[in-house]
Amino acid sequence: MKVYAEPFVIRADLVVASSSVVKNRAAKIDVLTVVGAFEYQACDDAVCYRPETLPVEWKIKLVPAAGKHP
C-alpha cells in the first residue's frame, strides 16, 4: 500500500484592503485576527476517509505602510 507520509505545506494568499479603518488600526500597531476552517479529506489507495474540518486562526500584526512609520 502506498502512503504519502512526508511533510507538506498548504498555502493561501490573504489580501487586506487598504481602507481607512485598516490604516487607522495599522497606525496603532493593532492585530488583525483572521478565523476560518480548514476542510480536508484523507484518502489512500483503498478508501477515502470521512471529511474533517479544523478551525484555524491567524493573528497578523498591522503596521503602517513602508515609509509611513511615525
pTM for the model = 0.65
The Cα–Cα gap between 37 and 61 comes to: 21
17-38 confidence digits (pLDDT tens): 889 999 999 999 999 999 999 9
Q: Which residues are 48's β-sheet partners?
A: 43
Average pLDDT of the residues of the chain: 86
Please report the pLDDT score of residue 24 as a whole number: 92
